[in-house]
Structure 1
């Protein structure tokens, strides 16, 4: 995905995040339904990615199409997606798929925190393992002529204890693989789930090993800052000289001497 599209996806994810906190499984299902409409309508994709069209015009176009058919949250997320710039028609569809998968993982996270995400990841891996080991299953799920409902039903039988979130992603992958093999698409979904799990891990790097008391105080502070119970992964790096580097998800807080020295060097270099 080109840089312009990557920036638009990042904006869409940031916009959607507050709405995911209370989302039900219906939100990602609606996002996937809109994706199906986009994938089936080349003219609509061209209109939404046309750089000559104003952002408000593109958002209004989708709003007219979706109003009354999806929830207000889904409509708002998709409208925001349409209002930004895209390098290709495919990119806006791929971004919508990413939003749908992210919404599913948020539902699993909301219900059971890190254990919900672990369960989702485990279910997806179980599906991948079963399908990868059976060529007949691969042929059945890859069959473009087979009804989507039939393939979805078969796929869900392979992971009988899958959570609702897992079922949603597996069904999406086999019914709408979008040019990929279903198992390959599920592997991509696993990557997004793993990225979401990083939100629950605080990687702490210090010059010397921190005491248990220091780690406990740091954990308490970080839990308050991020409003969730984080798991601390503590490592040492003598090159830091002093201070800490803390990474939670995509956020990095660098309070090390090494970072300040590097800043001074950059300033001196002009």
Structure 2
């Protein structure tokens, strides 16, 4: 499994790096970033689109036809649209979500930014997000962007991932630790 993961991440990195080079050469980096973010949002919202992208049951032609119509309807054009279509033509569409993440990571690195994945039990207020950004920026020395997710199973607290570091202050983890400690005592 690890070999497949590293293979996929290697392909994603190569495609993302080539796309960033092209976008910087054309001066369309902001447009590509906006369009890929929009497409990433569409993927997150639509199970059908996610299935189209990840399923080997669809031919490259079927994927390309469907995606071309979808991209046109969404107003995604230029380099980003051509990138998505190239992934479909090359039967690499299943790697597209990782390619988009890699593109964003490369771009953030060039800008001296870091993205923190923050999972909370409820939606964070704007004030909490701002305070978290400030604290994480001070800690890392970089501008930190927050990618927030909600997981009610956490019960309370936060799970924060920045690079390879993770801070878990969730109530679920604390309760699990307590339960484990109680088993050892009993």
TM-score by length of 1: 0.42
CA gap 1:36/1:79 in 2 versus in 1, 3 angstroms: same
* 8 Å contact from structure 1 (residues 152, 175) kept in 2: no
> Unaligned stretches of 5+ in structure 1?
109-119, 129-137, 189-270
Please say which structure displays the higher CA radius of gyration: 1
Q: Does 2:131 correspond to 1:142?
A: no
Query: Over residues 65-105 of structure 1, what are the superposed CA-to-partner deviations in whole Å (9 max), with x where a residue is unaligned?
Result: 22253351222222223334359x6x542332112222343
Which whole-Å CA distance do the structure 2 matches of 1:80 and 1:48 have between them? 13
Change (3 A) 1:65 1:151: farther
Q: Which has the higher contact order (CA 8 A, sep 6+)?
A: 2
CA distance 1:8–1:142, change in 2 (3 Å): closer
Please report how far the alpha carbon of residue 146 of structure 1 lies from its aligned counterpart in structure 2 after TM superposition: 0.6
Query: Structure 1 residues 97, 6: CA separation in 2 closer, same or farther (over 3 Å shift)?
Result: closer
- Whether 2:71 is the aligned partner of 1:66: answer yes
Separation in 2 of the partners of 1:51 and 1:79? 16
Instruction: Give 2:12's aligned residue.
Output: 9
Residue in 2 aligned with 1:44? 49
Q: Is the 8 A contact 2:64 2:88 kept in 1?
A: yes
2: CA distance between counterparts of 1:148 and 1:81?
37
1:18 lines up with 2:15 in the alignment = no
Q: Work out the number of aligned pairs and report it.
A: 151
1:198-217 alignment runs, 5 A limit: none
Unaligned runs of 5+ in 2: 152-157, 165-186
With over 3 angstroms needed to count, the CA separation of the structure-2 counterparts of 1:56 and 1:6, relative to structure 1, is farther
RMSD between aligned residues? 4.1
Q: Provide the C-alpha distance between the structure 2 equivalents of 1:70 and 1:33, rounded to a whole number of angstroms.
A: 8
Cross-structure match for 2:155: none
TM-score of the superposition, structure 2-length normalised? Answer: 0.57
> Quick check: which one's strand share is greater?
2
- Answer whether contact 1:60 1:79 (CA < 8 A) is retained: no
